[in-house]
Chains A and B, each alone.
Chain A
Amino acid sequence: MLSVPVLIALTMLAVAASLTFLRLAKGPTLPDRVIAIDLIGVLLVCILVVMAGITALQAFLDVAMVVALISFVGTVAYAQYIEREGS
């Protein structure tokens, strides 16, 4: 049941992810790129949640939770690295 709002939402999420990838490629400093990676993780979680809504499968929500966890740990690790080494 791929309704119209779901299609529009998936398109918008894909556009947002491409804009964020542009910032990831451009980003003048390292913190910019870390922010872009963090936002890509959040957008991936959003897409997984929408997929869980479409397919009514719980597994997508479990995967979304794991992606959120890993993304947070990765962001914290990058921040520690920046603070120690400088951008």
Chain B
Amino acid sequence: MARTLITSPATAKRGEVIELRALIAHPMETGFRPGADGLLLPRNLITRFSCRYNGDLVFSADLFAAVAANPYVSFFTVATDSGTLSFSWEGDHGFAQTETVALAVT
């Protein structure tokens, strides 16, 4: 389980546009970089990030080797109903992780 840091408001007003920020610890090894022995370090990337709001996909990103290590994404969503925001990361070597946060909408 990689460390993650999700910043999202705990509460929001209905219709308010809220900012969501997600940071995950991951080397994002490009596959182009040689190690100390001169051989290329094998590729190990997170390739997809998605955010679901009560199950509905509201945002996604396809990440490539050019995304920095410990990838950070910031985006916005409209607060509609109270519920759960789930943040998912998928990548090479079967990497898959989901974190959820609660959102109370008044």
Are A and B physically bound partners?
no
Q: Which A residues are closer than 8 A to B by beta carbons?
A: none
Q: Which B residues are closer than 8 A to A by beta carbons?
A: none
